[in-house]
Structure 1
Amino acid sequence: MIDLLIAGGGPAGLATAIHGALAGLEVVVVEPRPTPIDKACGEGLMPGAVRRLRELGVTVSGQPFHGIRYVDGAGGRHADGLFRSGPGLGARRTVLQAALAGRAAQLGVRVVRRRVEEVRQDARCVEAAGLTARYLVAADGLHSPIRRGLGLAAPPLPGRPARYGLRRHYTVEPWSDLVEVHWSARCEAYVTPLGPDRIGVAVLTADRAAFDVQLARFPLLAARLPPAPGAAVRGAGPLRQGARVRVAGRVLFVGDAAGYVDALTGEGLTLAVTAAGELVRCVRAGRPEAYERAWRELSRSYRTITASLLWARHRPRLARRIVPVAAGLPRVFTGAVNVLAGT
């Protein structure tokens, strides 16, 4: 019998598959889309994610970056938080997913081109996509159909505006070896170096408007960008997605499917790869229920810091103070950056 049936061939699902294969489990991934899979993403791997991918034998090409810079989108004042234990990596989502898929294939992980539409389970096994396994791992993304189908989606928080992400690539030499986060009154823009002649710009916002409309709110950033005729814009959202639990019988959730606060702090991939390892450890130990507590402990810093920044972001008087406070308290800002970096 299959040990782990993984629904979703994105980074979280493939990282779980690699962890499982390295642990000696029989793993099958169910994914209807061909590799590589692209999606809206800031495309910055924090140092913790880079280190964990290296431990899994996954080699990803990209552009190193050495910290995070918060920038006042209008005035230009900034605060720098440098990493203490090695660089992060700007890597296109397609490159990352292809590298993970290649490593999984090298380890003998089978990929089945199907879609999970119904999940049935009992005390012994779980059935999905015509396959039977000891456990099903739901790694089916932000809007997880499995989470929704099992009635495990938590309702949105009242009074919190939904936020969305938009991403576009630009052919231009990176002007910084840091990921820049530009703050405006209503949204943030993330600039990630992806190669010697490419950057990615991702906008997080509560306003439903076109990418160029959002970009105009950052005049200093917009002035540095070349025209991008025909460049694809990818979007995602609403970003905040709650999950009631991470373990439901023989179904376990990982990555965005396990619950997501916001992309504001950029820790999602680090958490996904780390949680994948904990999930496999709990399954191997015969204690899948322990994964719930492990996930909560792993994600505590991400959930706390991200929720706190969002709380300030939604209060205009406080939002204007985020960059000045970070600049005025450099040690505190650097410490927070390194907590989120997984260092």
Structure 2
Amino acid sequence: MIDLLVVGGGPAGLATAIHGARRGLDVMVAEPRPAPVDKACGEGLMPSAVRALDALDVRVPGRPLRGIRYVDAEGGRRAEAAFRTGPGLGARRTVLHETLTARALALGVRVEPHRVRRVTQTEAYVTADGLTARYLAAADGLHSPTRHALGLTVRPAATRRRPPRYGLRRHYAVEPWTDLVEVHWSADCEAYVTPIGPRQVGVAVLTSNRLPFDEQLTRFPALAARLRTADGTPVRGAGPLRQQARTRTAGRVLFVGDAAGYVDALTGEGLTLALTAADALVRCLREGRPHAYEQAWCRLSRNYRLLTRSLLWLRNQPATAPLITPAAARFPGLFQGAVNLLA
């Protein structure tokens, strides 16, 4: 019997598989799509994510990132915060996926082209469409079919429902003009610019408006002017971004990555949490305490959830949204502290 079946072969699932294999577990990954899989992603790794990859002996090619810059799209105000604990990394999602896949295969992890639709479990094992394992790690993404099938997705109350937010990403063939991740703020959306390679930047727009990418970009005149003559790739999208799970553990099924719940991409911490939670999940299994993973996940995600929800609340208030970048410029110590709390 397999020790650990990982459903989903993205970064969260592969990191879980690598941690499992390194700790002596027999691990299989069920992923119907061939690697590498591309998806909408900001593609900026915080320093903590880089350290988590180093701990896996995974070295991802990319561009070092020195910190974060906020840019007011209308007033031109700017604020910068440098990372204090080492550089972050700008890297293509496909390159990250290829590197993690190669590391997992080198450790003997089996990656099977298998789509899981139904999960059942007993006190001793889990069965997923013919595959049987002692435990199952669900890393099947933002709209996790496993989470839905087990009835663990929380629907927002109608009285509190805000317009859902979506992410759109496009790459541009242009020389990066900075070694920072730039976050451009307009009245109702943000654009994240991440250097990811020679003559290539990624631009991710977070918004509640269901409009084409080029129309979204007009809200950032200075950025649009820089990119006007650059060749762009097809647009990829994801959302709604906010997903809430009732719990991270359900018997012998544990959730990791976006499948475990997601607040927003506003602070760029999704991959960091996925990588660190993968380590915690496997550690809890090896210690024979799968139930302890819920508390571990809550502890690891506390800063991300607190800062992201706070910033998202400020963004959604008409009175405070225009003040975010000016406040960051006015109080650089506070901005630096918040960035490095996540970094």
> Percent identity among equivalent residues?
69
Partner of 2:55: 55
2:148 pairs with 1:148: yes
Q: How far apart are residue 129 of structure 1 and its match?
A: 2.8
Stretches of 4+ aligned residues off by more than 6 angstroms = none
Q: Please show how residues 1-343 of structure 1 align to structure 2 within 5 Å.
A: 1-157=1-157, 158-228=160-230, 231-341=233-343
CA distance in 2, matches of 1:92, 1:80: 24
Deviation (angstroms), 1:226: 3.7
The answer to whether the 8 Å contact 2:241/2:264 transfers is yes
Contact kept, 8 Å, 1:154 with 1:243, in 2: the verdict is yes
Q: TM-score, normalised by structure 2?
A: 0.98
For residues 229 and 58 of structure 1, what CA distance do their matches in structure 2 show?
31
Task: Measure the CA separation in 2 of the matches of 1:230 and 1:184.
Answer: 22
What SS class does the counterpart of residue 289 from structure 1 fall into? helix
Q: Is the 8 A contact 2:4 2:134 kept in 1?
A: yes
Q: Distance in 1 between matches of 2:61 and 2:338?
A: 27
In the alignment, structure 2 segments of 5+ residues that lack a partner are none
Question: Structure 1 residues 119 and 96 mapped into 2: Cα distance closer, same or farther (>3 Å)?
Answer: same
Greater shift after overlay, 299-308 or 150-159?
150-159
Give me the whole-angstrom Cα distance separating, in 1, the residues matched to 2:231 and 2:300: 41
Shift of 1:229: 5.1
TM (normalized to structure 1)? Answer: 0.98
The amino acid of 2:36's aligned partner reads P
In the alignment, the residues of structure 2 paired with residue 111 and residue 187 of structure 1 have an alpha-carbon distance, to the nearest angstrom, of 38
Within 2, Cα distance between the matches of 1:109 and 1:177? 35
Question: 2: CA distance between counterparts of 1:268 and 1:213?
Answer: 26
> Structure 1: which 5+ runs fail to align?
none
TM-superposed deviation, 1:161: 1.5
Task: Say if 1:74 and 1:220, in contact at 8 Å, map to a contact too.
Answer: no
Q: How many residues align?
A: 341
